[in-house]
Amino acid sequence: MNTLIALLMTSLIHLIPAPVEMIPGKGSFILQNGTALYIQDPSKAKDAVSFLTSTLEPSTGIVPAVVKQYPAAGAVLFVCNDSLPAEGYTLTVTKDLIEIAANDPAGYFYGVQTLLQLLPPEVYRPVYQPDQYTPALELQVPCVRIRDYPRFSHRGMMLDVSRQFFTVDYVMRFIDWMAKHKLNRFHWHLADDNGWRIEIKKYPYLTKKGAWRGPGEVLPTMYGHAGERYGGYYTQEDIRRIVAYASARQVEIIPEIDLPGHSAAAIGSYPDILCDLTTEKGELSAQGMSNNVWCASYEKNYKMLEDIIREMVQLFPSQYFHIGGDEVVTSQWTNCTRCTAFMHEHNMKDPMEMQFYFVQRMQQILNKFGKTLVGWDEIMEGGELDREKTVILAWRRAANIKEATSAGYKVIVQPAQYYYLDMKHTLAERGMTWAAIFDIDKVYSFDPVETPGLTADEASKVLGIQGGLWAELLNMPPRIAEYQTYPRLCALAETAWSPKENKNWEDFKTRLSETHFDRLYHMGIRFRIPPPLADYVNGYICAQNEYPWMVIRYTCDGTDPDSRSPLYTGPISTKTPESYRFASFFRDDIRSIVREANLPYERYQKPITHVTGNINIHPRTPLSLLGDNNRSTYVRCFGPLKEGQSLLYTFEEPLKTKGITIQTGLPYAEINIVDFAYVEYSPDGTSFKKADCPWKDGGCRFVPEGPVKAVRIVFENGNQIPTYFLQDLLIENQ
Ligand code: ACM
Ligand code: ZN
């Protein structure tokens, strides 16, 4: 606790997101146990006050004394100011008082968030520690005058809970962290191909069947969890609790059930939803799913959807309701006896017209319940939707912002290239790559109204921005959702809240690195820190950190560094740089990814390699990608993989090597690995011998006897999932 007291004495004004206006003063206000707290209008300020007191007490022991009379001095005041804009506040700290003025609950709440950022980062420590409880601590609050309000009314974050399930507790924490960054919309992606996550009483199979994957379930194992029953769902009572929790933090929840595509979970639960197909297995969706689209001409489906939405609107007070609309495999409808007859009858030539029909039907249902439809930007493509009753979520290209606003739609902006936080930060990290690979600076650089050619009127239709976190790769390690989201979300929050003129990357980076990382740490967020750079030059490995105040630790036995590994203090002289591993650490608890030293020579051989095999590969990833000597390319193939199937790597010339590593699964992510296989190798390409290495975690390393002309992976039974990834061999130098 002594270190806490010492730390509590220092305060820096490093706010994230940056406020509209801030004038630092001199001196400080002393906040202590029993400081008077006066609330002029409890009906508006109560959630904010409760957030303040419930944050302060466990971490500092300070409990203010709520008073009924306007106190003379030395007090915290929550007062009304009806000239402030929505969600705006002023925060004044003098030696005599702390005053938060606002006009609505959100304004008070954001005033409190800023006040907390004036305090030392330790105030975010969430856990009450009775043995360390030290009453009557003092906090020095620096004198300052702040006037603040948001740039955008929609400041959001989307979480996909279908591909991975997140517990009620985790969802609450996720929302709490958002609120601390002044974000106010949680877009909850509740149903997709890989799991239906919301209890619907009228259709119990949606969660009895559709919330589970694995052996014997209607949904196959996907995205980790091979061989186990995996899933979960939120009861309606869970949802009510989460909605109330979010509301007390000024976060509105916008629910999404993804329709009419992305619906394998619903269809697995109620197969009638599907079209009356003339071919058994149709075109695959972008995620490799077949038969995942609601039949758009089957009237009973609309009745079911209305029933589902009727239950959902009672749980979610939000004006907006998201019906998905992305990546629909419309060829399902042209392969359906009912839909083709319907299209013929209604003179529809293009299946997009059928999609438009579906969206309109959804709009009618939502309007009946007084809700506004939100959909991914594909919903604009079938025809003209009602501009007053439709909001477009632009995700595919920044150009969709112009397209939607110029057509008169209101738009929420979530461009994949900047705001899909499931994308990798850098090549060698876990994450998706299909939209881009980007770090926090790129998130910070994007401005939603700087789309080329956007007029002022079009810009006024941009309601705001949001990040997106899709969950394909979020199964492990446990911190991965936070790793992907933070600190990138901090950059997004500044674009969402702060005036454009106040944005400044260098200044933001200072605020982030000098103070805000500490806040994230004490909030319990296991955020990403950049890995060190390590180069081997003239017999020395020199390592450096992006943030010099973080420490680097290393090992030289091939294991990953941990908090007990030696500290790097200067260049390391070595003749075996290959055996060193480096990682950056924040307070010993948070580690970067592990780096090997960059060598001035190639670590691995790059022979001319021909690859053949009798597996069913995805047309976009030819087998030649396995011989291109690029570790980040891969081949996607369809499972199940069985006995009798194999993959053969043949080298132009026999090669000598210290060892060959075979790894399956998405590179750097180890997802969709082959679980059952063994390896054979050959000196001449004809006679093969089994390699002496157990297959483990989707791969193995073997040391061949003599030169190698060919390596074969022989698949065994038991590999049940629909998609696998295969990689280049890693062939060590001799
Ligand atoms: C999306 O990423 N399919 C909206
Ligand atoms: Zn149909």
Q: What is the SS3 string spanning 686-722?
A: CCCEECCCCCECCEEEECCCCCEEEEEEEECCCECCC
For 384: left if phi > 0, alpha if psi spans -120 to 50, otherwise beta; the answer is: beta
The CATH number of residue 717's host domain is 2.60.120.260
Q: What is the mean pLDDT of residues 88-112?
A: 98
Task: Kindly state if the Cβ of 395 falls inside 6 Å of ligand 1.
Answer: yes
CA distance 88 to 19: 10
Q: Cα of 161 to ligand 1 centre, how many Å?
A: 14
Cis peptide before 260 (omega within 30 of 0): yes
Identify whether 526 is part of a domain.
no
Roughly how many angstroms between the first and final C-alpha of the chain, as a whole number?
A: 55
Q: Which ligand is nearest to the CA of 342?
A: 2
CA of 150 to the centre of ligand 1 (A): 27
The residue ranking higher by pLDDT, 242 or 721, is: 242
Residue with tokens 């980076």: 509
| Cβ atoms of 295 and 340 closer than 8 Å | no
Cα 381 to averaged position of ligand 2 atoms, centre (Å): 20
Nearest to 663 by CA among 679, 652, 650: 679
Q: Which helix (H) or strand (E) holds 147?
A: strand 138-148
Q: Kindly give the pairing relationship between strand 138-148 and strand 89-93.
A: antiparallel
Evaluate: CB of 518 within 6 angstroms of ligand 1: no
pLDDT of residue 375: 98
Do 163 and 143 fall into the same domain? no
What number is the average pLDDT over the span 227-242? 96
Share of the chain above pLDDT 90, in %: 85
Cβ atoms of 534 and 582 within 8 Å: the answer is yes
pLDDT over 70 percentage in the chain: 97
Peptide bond into 17 cis (omega under 30): yes
Same domain, 668 and 722: yes
Query: Is position 669 within any domain?
Result: yes
383: phi > 0 → left, psi -120 to 50 → alpha, else beta; which? left
Ligand 1 binding pocket includes 497 (Cβ within 6 Å): no
CA atoms of 79 and 90, how far apart (whole Å): 10
Residue 527 domain-assigned? no
> Which pLDDT value is given to residue 411?
97
List the one residue out of 407, 411, 385 whose CA is nearest residue 398: 411
Q: What is the number of the ligand 1 atom nearest to the C-alpha of 468?
A: 2
Report the C-alpha gap between 214 and 721 in whole angstroms: 9
Whole-angstrom CA distances from 71 to 65, 102, 141, 263, 607 are 11, 19, 19, 59, 80
Average pLDDT over the chain, rounded to an integer: 93
Query: Region 411-426: what's the mean pLDDT?
Result: 97
**pLDDT (average), residues 299-305:** 98
The structure tokens 């090997």 sit at 596
Q: List the single range of 1-15, 529-543, 555-569, 699-713 with lowest mean pLDDT.
A: 1-15
Strand, coil or helix: what is 526?
Answer: coil
Q: Whose CA is nearest to atom 1 of ligand 1?
A: 326
pLDDT of residue 587: 92
SS3 105: helix
Q: Is the dihedral of CA 423, 425, 427, 431 positive or negative?
A: negative
Helix residue ranges, H only, 432-471: 440-445, 456-459
Q: Which ligand 1 atom is at minimum distance from the Cα of 324? A: 4
Same domain, 173 and 114: no
Which of 158, 189, 194, 327 most suits a substitution to test ligand 1, by most atoms within 8 Å of the C-beta? 327
Evaluate if residue 372 carries a pLDDT over 50.
yes
Ligand 2 centroid – CA 297 distance (Å) = 5
pLDDT at 318: 98
Whether 417 is in the pocket of ligand 1, judged by its Cβ within 6 Å, is no
Looking at residue 516, what DSSP letter applies? I
> For residue 44, what is the domain's CATH number?
3.30.379.10
Work out which ligand 1 atom sits closest to the CA atom of 262: 3
Specify the pTM: 0.91
Q: Kindly state whether residues 408 and 431 are assigned to the same domain.
A: yes
Looking at residue 398, what is its pLDDT? Answer: 82
Predicted local confidence at residue 399, as pLDDT: 84
At 444, which CATH number?
3.20.20.80
CA nearest ligand 1 atom 3, residue: 326
Which of 465, 473, 427 has its CA nearest to residue 449?
465
From the alpha carbon of 470, which atom of ligand 1 is closest? 2
Give the mean model confidence (pLDDT) for residues 270-285. 90
The neighbouring-strand residues paired with 185 are 156, 252
pLDDT single digits (tens) 456-468: 999 999 999 999 9
* Protein residue whose Cα sits closest to atom 2 of ligand 1: 395
Looking at all shown ligands, the one closest to residue 417's CA atom is 1
Q: Which ligand is nearest to the CA of 355?
A: 2
Domain that holds residue 201: 158-473
Same domain, yes or no: 659 and 640: yes
Residues 397-411: what's their mean pLDDT?
93
Distance (angstroms) between ligand 2 centre and the Cα of 294 equals: 7
Does 71 fall in a domain?
Answer: yes
Same domain, 143 and 167: no
CB atoms within 10 A of CB 147: 16
- pLDDT tens for 157-201 read 999 999 999 999 999 999 999 999 999 999 999 999 999 999 999
What pairing do the DSSP bridges indicate for beta strands 138-148 and 635-638?
unpaired
Distance (angstroms) between ligand 2 centre and the Cα of 280 equals 13
Find out whether 187 and 316 touch, Cβ atoms under 8 Å: no
Spacing, Cα 134 to ligand 1 middle (Å):
49
The 21-32 sheet, strands edge to edge: 21-32, 138-148, 89-93, 97-102, 75-80, 36-39, 65-67
At 129 the pLDDT is 52
- Its sign, for the CA torsion 346, 285, 468, 50, is positive
Please say if the pLDDT value at position 286 is more than 80.
yes
Q: Is the CB of 326 under 6 A from ligand 1?
A: yes
Do 415 and 440 lie in one domain? The reply is yes
Give CA–CA dist 222/215, Å, rounded: 11
Whether 716 and 643 have beta carbons less than 8 Å apart is answered as yes
User: How remote is the C-alpha of 11 from its chain's centroid?
Assistant: 31
180 with 138, same domain?
no
Q: How far is the CA of 416 from the centre of ligand 2 (A)?
A: 31
Place of tokens 């009672």: 314
Asked if 136 and 53 sit in the same domain, the reply is yes
Whether 680 maps to a domain, the answer reads yes
**Is residue 153 a part of any domain in this protein?**
no
Cα atoms in the Cβ-side hemisphere of radius 13 Å centred on 416: 13
How far apart CA 443 and CA 275 sit, in angstroms, is 41
101 and 202 together in one domain: no
SS3 413: strand
- Determine the residue of 292, 395, 397 to mutate for testing ligand 1's pocket, defined as the one with the most ligand atoms within 8 A of the Cβ atom: 395
Q: Flag whether pLDDT at 591 surpasses 70.
A: yes
Whether ligand 1 lies within 6 angstroms of the CB of 378 is answered as no
Q: Going by C-beta distance under 8 Å and a sequence separation of 6 or more, which residues neighbour residue 696?
A: none
494 in a domain, yes or no?
no
DSSP states of 166-181 as a string? --HHHHHHHHHHHHHT
Question: Whose CA is closest to 153, among 361, 409, 463, 612?
Answer: 463
Centre of ligand 2 from the C-alpha of residue 298, in Å? 6
Work out the number of other CB atoms within 10 angstroms of the CB of residue 216: 6
Confidence of residue 127 (pLDDT cuts 50, 70, 90): low
Q: How far apart are CA 664 and CA 294, in angstroms?
A: 34
Q: What is the CA radius of gyration of the chain?
A: 28
Listed residues 424, 442, 473: the one ending a domain: 473
CA of 125 to the centre of ligand 2 (A): 54
Sign of the CA dihedral with 168 first, then 170, 173, and 178 last = negative
Q: Per the structure, how many domains does the chain have?
A: 4
Q: Centre a 10 Å sphere on the Cβ of residue 33 and count the other Cβ atoms it contains.
A: 17
- Say how many CA atoms lie within 13 Å of 38 toward its Cβ: 17
Short-list 42, 50, 40, 13, CA closest to 99: 40
Beta-bridge partner residues of 655: 708
Residue 395 CA: which ligand 1 atom is closest? 4
What pLDDT digit, counting tens, does each position of 606-627 carry? 999 999 999 999 988 999 999 9
pLDDT at 279: 83
Ligand with smallest separation from the Cα of 396? 1
Question: Which among 428, 454, 473 is the end of a domain?
Answer: 473
- For residue 555, is it within any domain? yes
CA 547/CA 531 separation, integer angstroms: 10
Ligand nearest the Cα of residue 466 is 1
pLDDT tens-digit map of 490-546: 999 999 999 999 999 999 999 999 999 999 999 999 999 999 999 999 999 999 999
My answer on whether 219 and 352 are in the same domain is: yes
- Ligand 2 centroid to Cα of residue 341, in Å, is 9
Ligand 1 centroid to residue 340 C-alpha, Å = 27
- Give the bridge partners for 432, in sequence order: 423
Read off the pLDDT of each residue in 54-66 and give the average, rounded to a whole number: 92
To test ligand 1's pocket by mutation, which of 159, 193, 376 has the most ligand atoms within 8 angstroms of CB? 376
pLDDT at 474 over 60: yes
Which of 428, 445, 473 corresponds to the end of one domain?
473
DSSP 299-336: HHHHHHHHHHHHHHHHH---SEEEEE--S--THHHHTB
- The model's confidence at residue 477, banded by pLDDT at 50, 70 and 90, is confident
DSSP 3-state of 508: helix
- How much of the chain is helix, strand and coil, in % rounded to 5? 30, 25, 45
pLDDT band for position 225 (cuts 50, 70, 90) = confident
> Is the model's pLDDT at 6 over the cut of 50?
no
Assess whether 436 and 311 both reside in one domain.
Answer: yes
Q: Which atom of ligand 1 is nearest to the CA of 393?
A: 4
